[in-house]
Structure 1
């Protein structure tokens, strides 16, 4: 690996380029596929429910494996979001709650 601030080895650059190409292919493919799917009420309901399903599938494993502090952070985040409707504040409150609980050994 060469020295310098902006140096990178060829394997790293190749990996980034392959991931970028795969990301673009998935996005373009999604537009292509959805251009051929009729938007019936059933399909529309399924697409509208996806964001919630993705969030739950991301958060649930963290809550189950992260222990009490992580679960409390998720609850704090949900409460702040429900009360204030500010996602940045909800994330900040969750991070602070988890950090405080872990600092005190929870």
Structure 2
């Protein structure tokens, strides 16, 4: 009796393992939050979380990409404050970074 060739299954096993790990990471937050009472303090912390994630993601990019990225970010934020349109903020940010780069910033 010979064993089947398992060399071709390595990639599929890795994909399946990562899919399971991803699912477990996503569902664990929902399960764990079921045990935490939602006090006003916890609610304020959860409300601040999306903003802090955006800042933690964007600021290193601004630091690495320089003044043009900082100007584009400020313009996009200003557009969001004034118009509340994500698409418009995206376009404004892209236009500002393009113009800044065209002028050598």
Q: Give 5+ residue unaligned stretches, structure 1.
A: 1-9
CA RMSD of the aligned region, Å? Answer: 2.3
- Normalising by structure 1, we get a TM-score of 0.78
User: Which residue number corresponds to residue 85 of structure 2?
Assistant: 86
Q: Give 5+ residue unaligned stretches, structure 2.
A: 1-8
Higher relative contact order (CA 8 A, sep 6+): 2
Query: How many residues get paired?
Result: 98
Find the aligned partners of 1:12 and 1:61 in 2 and give their Cα distance.
33
- After TM superposition, the runs of 4+ consecutive aligned structure 1 residues lying more than 2 A away are 10-23
Greater Rg over alpha carbons, structure: 2
2:35 matched to 1:36?
A: yes
2:56 matched to 1:57?
A: yes
